Amino acid sequence: MGRRGAAQRDEEFSFVSPVVKYLLFFFNTIFWIISVVLMAIGVYARISKHETAMACLTVDPSILLLIVGVLMFLLTFCGCVGSLRENICLLQTFCICLTVIFLLQLVAGILGFVFSDKVRYKVTEMINNAIKHYRDDMDLQNLIDFGQKEFACCGGISFMDWSQNIYFNCTEENPSRERCAVPFSCCLISKDEALINTMCGHGMQKLEMMKASAFINTSGCIDKLVNWIHSNLFLLGGIALGLAIPQLVGILLSQVLINQIQDQIKLQDYTLQHHSDPWS
């Protein structure tokens, strides 16, 4: 009777909680829907572009959206099906992948803080690459214009960086009408102006910085971005925490469900093993 009593007690405490199971399922369903939306936006943005508008893939927002959407779709698919079907293999895949992503984000944050100079160099390289492809991709162009207007800046290090673009290049051999110009998003626009001059950036690279500063923002976006980060550390920390909490919840729920399923399997094996022995 001792073994039978122990088996009954184990059965009372070994079960798969429907709360944990369906909470994990709905948790993954929400992010699965988000992943589908991201993929749809990425595909639409890529298809709607002109065939010749092929920007560098590292700065193409539509490609980035598509990659993030596909990865999120695969991960949440494992979580949804794994929780609903109580599949240990899929749940472990979901838990391990989510843990790896969380650790990579943590390591990236630490390395970014420790090696800030190298990060600054990499960001400068990416911005210069984006400047070169400014006219090649409408999404990228809108993104750069938004950044320059938001941070009241122009170019990477200075407004002269726009000479790296073939349209704004300031050499005499450049036949472009925008030679020696900067984008309209660099311009200083007064709210009192009734008529906005969209050509205000033309010829600015020919001027000295002091003279150009009367018409455009001459400060580079990298310094403005660094200053903004230093001024908004609490906001960035809150965003990082907001991204980390769902990941930790997913890891916790999946691990709890895995343990419950494994306990249930062990109990079933124990029951089958001793079912034929009535005196156990």
Beta bridge partners of 216: 187
- Average the pLDDT over each of 54-58, 165-169, 233-237, 243-247 and give the range with the smallest value: 54-58
Q: Which residue is associated with the tokens 């929400």? A: 30
The pTM for the full model equals 0.69
pLDDT band at 253 (very low <50, low <70, confident <90, very high): very high
> 216 — phi, psi (to 5°)?
-135, 165
> What local confidence, expressed as pLDDT, does residue 154 receive?
94
**pLDDT reported for residue 7:** 45
Q: What is the pLDDT of residue 147?
A: 92
CA distances to 54, 62, 129, 131 from 49, rounded to whole Å, are 9, 10, 19, 18
pLDDT in tens, 201-244: 889 999 888 888 888 999 999 989 888 888 888 888 888 888 88
Distance CA 63, CA 150 (A): 24
CA separation, residue 222 to residues 6, 120, 158, 190, 219 (Å) = 67, 8, 9, 24, 9
Mean pLDDT of all residues in 244-255: 91
- pLDDT at residue number 36: 92
